[in-house]
Structure formats: C-alpha cells, structure tokens
Structure 1
Amino acid sequence: MTGYGSASRQVSLGAGVVADLQVECRAVNSRFLDLGFRLPDECRGAEPALRESVSQSLSRGKVELRAAWRLNSGAAETAKANPHALGSLNQDRLDALFTLQEKAQLAFPKAQELSIADILRWPGMVSEPRGEEEGWIVATVEAGRAAITALMISRQAEGQALAEVLKKITAKMRAIVQVLEPQVPQFVAQYQAKLTERLAEALASQEQAKGGVELMERIRQEVVLYAVKIDVAEEFARLKTHLQAVDTALAGKGPVGKRLDFLMQELNREANTLSSKSVSEECTQAALELKLLIEQMREQVQNLE
C-alpha cells in the first residue's frame, strides 16, 4: 500500500540557534518489507530505532525515511544579537588560504581572486554550531515515529477505501452466481437432450444389429456419466465459501494481503472449472465475467498489506 507521513522537530544547536528538522516517511507497494534511509550525518544515530519502529508497524512495502534540516527563521535575528552564533572563521585556515592565493596569483597573474562564497565553502573554514549528538538522535526518533504514525493513518484510509471496492466486486460475483446456479439444471437437461439425440444418430447403424433396447441403455449410461462430469454444484459451493472468506478477511483486523492472494487463486481455480464444464453459452459468459472480476480483485489485493 502507498502512504505518506511527515513530522518536524526543533534541535538546539547552542548559542541560541535552533534548527528545524523534518522527517518524511513514504511507502509504495512491495511483496516484502524493504527499508531505505536518507539521513544527514547528524541524524545517522537514529537509524536503528527508526528501523525497529517501521518493522513493528509494517510487514510489507518499500519504505523510505528521509530527513533534512535547516536553520530556524529566527537565526538572522540571533546573528544580529550575537555575531558568533552562526559560526566563526578559523583564523589559521584563513591565513593559510590567503598565503596560498598569493602564491597562486604569482604563478598565474590572470587568475581571479577567491570570492567570499569560495572562502566560506573551504573545508574547515567555518566552525558552525552543530548541537549535541543526543539532541539530534532524540529529535530524529520522535519526528520519525510521528511520521510513521501519519503514514499508517493514510494507509488505513486507503485500505478502507480498497476494502469497499473489493466488497462491491464480491457482491457482483455473488449476483452472477445467484442468477446462474438455479439455471444450471435446465442447461444440463437441454444439453443431455441434445447429447442423446446425437448419440442416437451416431449409433443408428447398430440399432438393427443389437436392438433398440440395448442401444437406448447404452445411450442412457453415457448421458448419466457425462452429467456427473459436468456437475458444477461443488464449484458453486466453493465459490460462495471463498467469497464469504474474502468478506470475513476484509472485515477483520491485521494484515490480510497474503490471505487474499491465496483466496484469489482459489476463486480463479473454481471459475476455470466452471468454464471447462460449461454446457451453454450463458455458463461460458458467466465464467468469463467471474474471471474478469477476480482479476480486478487480484490487482487491488496487491495494494493491501
């Protein structure tokens, strides 16, 4: 099942500077549970706890947790009051970089001077407040669990909507069975009459040799045997049982995806048997319609946990 959830927390970086941390949790369909994390270095320590939280909440799906942070909008005002709040320059590195630039310009007189952005991006040039590791871990775990909860709520809403779709499909299948089942004996009787007529014509040449009584007894036996082979009462009974099992699973709690996968296989098997035993065009069309509805259910079941 697909789903999305997000949550945010604040992390104190010291000197009155605060970072806004946001964690997003996304999930798409998958037969198994596949976890992925895209966390900044400050949040890496929270990964084991987040992995455990996801495993306790979900049993299948491709899940990705992503975290990102930025300085709070009040950082500018903090910087005005305390110029060193957002960081300080490493004077030793600044002096070394200045010396390197002078040497480079002597060798390459046409080379451009370093811009302020180049200087600030130089590794180790700016010492920024990073906060305590424990603070990052606590905030990331709290935001991550809240995002997972939001994800579960969205998945639950989607699951309820899919369950209603599946119930409508099972209702259509029941309607087909209710219409077709009482008509099957009539279809079988009509087919038996046609079969009897065809056998009589095929064995007409033997009538004079063996006598009409023996011929008609042979025909009767063949018709009875064939009637047993095309009897679909058990298929109808199993269809109704499987449909009831589908509704029971949808009404219950907990993961139902794998159980419904199995029931789709069983429903499809009964529909195929109905098709192979068909004795009329109406039976064939009904079996095809059942198989189409089962396939529609199978596609939706793949979205359920």
Structure 2
Amino acid sequence: MPSSMTAFARQTIEAPWGTASWELRSVNHRYLEPGFRMPETVRDIEMPLREMARKYLQRGKVDCTLHLHIAQESGDIAVNQSLARQYIDASQQLAGMMATPAPISPLDILRWPGVLKEPEINRDELNKTLLELFEQALIQLLEGRQREGEKLGQLIEQRLDAIAVQVQSVRNNLPELLKAQRHKILARLEELQVSLDHDRLEQELVLMAQKADVDEELDRLDTHLSEIRRVLKRKEPIGRRLDFLMQELNREANTLSSKSIATDTTNSAVELKVLIEQMREQIQNIE
C-alpha cells in the first residue's frame, strides 16, 4: 500500500503548567529530513525527537514546530535583571560603534532568552509530555500520509489500465501492420519496375519485419505493469522502486516509437509516454 510524503498533523495538550502544540508538515524529499523549531529551553529533547521520527517515517522533509506556553503564576513577572543588564551593556557597546544606532527597546531585551524567568516546573515531566505529544502527532501524520497514498495508488492503477489498453491495441494491430508494410514495399517495387532476386527480396523483407517487430517491447511493458501492480501492494516504502520502473516503462515506450511503421503505433507510443509521465509525477510524492 503506497504512502504519500505529503501530509499535515497537529496535536495540542493543556496541562497545569501551560499548553503545548506540535504542528507537523511533510512534503516529498529524497531522504528523511526532519527539522525542528522549538524553544531553546527544551532543545535537549531534539535527539529523542529525531529518533522517534525515524521510527515512523522513511522519507520526506518534515517541518516540526512546537508552540509552548508556560503559565505564569499570579503575581509580578520575574525578570533576570542581571542578564538583562548584560544585554543592555552589550547593545550599548555595539551602538557606540555605529554612526546612527537605533534606540534600544525594552521589549526587545525581554525577548532575549533567559531575561524572563520561567516558572519552576518539573522538567522531566514536561519533556515526557512533549515526547508523547510528538508521537501522537507522528501517528496522525502517518495516517494522513497513508490516506493520501491510497488515493495516489488509485490514480496510478487507472494509468496502468490505460497503458495496458494501448499495449493490447498495438499487439492486435501488429500482424496487419507488418502485412500491409510488406504489400506496400512489393507494390512500390512493381511500380518502379525493379527486378530483384526473389531469395534476396525475401531476406530483405524478413529483416524489415524483424526490425519492425515490437513483440519483445510489448512483452516487457506487460511485465513492468505486472511488477508495478505487485509493488503497489507491498507494505513498505516503494517510491524509489516505482521510480525505477517508470524509467523502464519509458525506455520501452521510446523503443516502440523508434520501431513504429504506422501512425497508429506512433500515436500509441506518444500516449504511453504521457501516461508514464503522469504516473511519474504522482510517484514523486510516494514514500
């Protein structure tokens, strides 16, 4: 069952210490590339978060954003005045190096890490809660990717059916096309009143038929279609395998086009390339 690399998930929790919310956005990527935006105060859990992401996902660029609000107890807001003074002194030193420095805003100072003292909370409990909430978001993301992957699989199956119709059409018309090509050459020779050795003529006609024969290409196309259908049922990442099979399908379609001796065959080869490209675009989003 294919799984898409495109999905979104959000999980929120309210606790006595405040609120936390994880937002996960996933898009297609060659490898798994998780990125984390979170407050520096909880940056120490990034490695466990990455390990958890690898547990559930194989490929995709995943943007993970943590919105964390620690509730302030009633009373005055606690400010680390010593740290704030260090920031102010450093800002003033830099201002002395500039011709027209901008004024220092107290609000800017308050935004610097550590200036506002956070309420005392149990860090172990907080980290455990954030990890559990992240896992819930990952499960929701995975479910969304699977739902979208199922739809992508249906679209690919539709293209496979259309390709099979084109392959069968070429196969059915091939004997008549070769026969018509033979009659056309013989008629042209008779029209030009060209006298050729009968055995040599038959040899040339056989060679011409062999070069125009696309049974082998049609057989390989059927084989690739069967393999793609089989791969779509596998319960593992299949995007790279499908991408390789698209290349093989395209190779056979190109050969079919180069061997074409009739407009119908050429049109079928063109239609095959269009269908293959449509599948390839969908497969780029499959894990």
TM range (shorter): 0.7 to 0.9
The alpha-carbon distance between structure 1 residues 69 and 233, as it changes in their structure 2 partners (threshold 3 A), is: same
1:259 aligns with 2:249: no
| Total equivalences in the alignment | 266
2:270 pairs with 1:288: yes
Higher relative contact order (CA 8 A, sep 6+): 2
> Which residue number corresponds to residue 180 of structure 2?
190
CA 1:140–1:186: 2 relative to 1, 3 Å: same
Structure 1 segment 156-305 matched on structure 2, within 5 A? 156-200=146-190, 204=194, 207=195, 215-305=197-287
Which residue of the other structure, out of 111, 133, 144, is the alignment partner of 2:134?
A: 144
Task: Give distance in 2, aligned partners of 1:150 and 1:198.
Answer: 69
The structure 2 residue matched to 1:9, chosen from 4, 7, 13, is 13
Q: Is contact 2:70–2:118 with CA below 8 Å preserved after alignment?
A: no
The structural deviation recorded for 1:88 is 3.8
Q: Secondary structure at the match of 2:197?
A: helix
Question: What residue ranges of structure 2 are gaps of 5+ in the alignment?
Answer: 90-103
Structure 1 residue identity aligned to 2:136: A
Q: Which sits farther off after the overlay, 294-303 or 178-187? A: 178-187
Q: Give, as a single letter, the amino acid of the residue that structure 2 aligns with 1:291.
A: K
CA shift digits 1:76-104 (9 cap, x unpaired): xx62xxx36xx4466x86xx9xxx9xxxx
Compute the displacement of 1:201 (Å). 5.3
1:103 corresponds to: none
Aligned to 1:131: 121
CA 1:203–1:154 in structure 2 vs 1: closer, same or farther (change >3 Å)?
Answer: same
Which residues in structure 2 correspond to 1:93-132 (within 5 Å)?
127-132=117-122
CA offsets 1:8-65 (integer angstroms, 9 cap, x no match): 23455xxxxx210111111111111112111111221111111011112222111121
Q: TM-score normalized by structure 2?
A: 0.83
AA aligned to 1:222 is: E
Matched to 2:267, the amino acid is: Q
Q: Which residue is equivalent to 1:105?
A: none
CA contact (8 A) 1:43 1:140 kept: no
Task: Please tell me the residue identity of whatever aligns with 2:173.
Answer: Q
Unaligned segments of structure 1, at least 5 residues: 13-17, 101-113, 208-213
How far 1:232 sits from its partner (Å)?
Answer: 0.9
Change (3 A) 1:9 1:43: farther
C-alpha displacement of 1:221: 1.0
CA contact (8 A) 1:196 1:223 kept: no
8 Å contact kept, 2:38–2:66: yes
Give identity over the alignment, percent: 39
Distance 1:292 1:256 in 2: 22
What is the alpha-carbon distance in structure 2 between the residues aligned to residue 236 and residue 302 of structure 1? 26
Change in Cα spacing, 1:189 to 1:56, as seen in structure 2 (3 Å) is: same
CA distance in 1, matches of 2:79, 2:253: 76
AA aligned to 2:163 is M
- Cα 1:228/1:123, change in 2 over 3 Å: closer
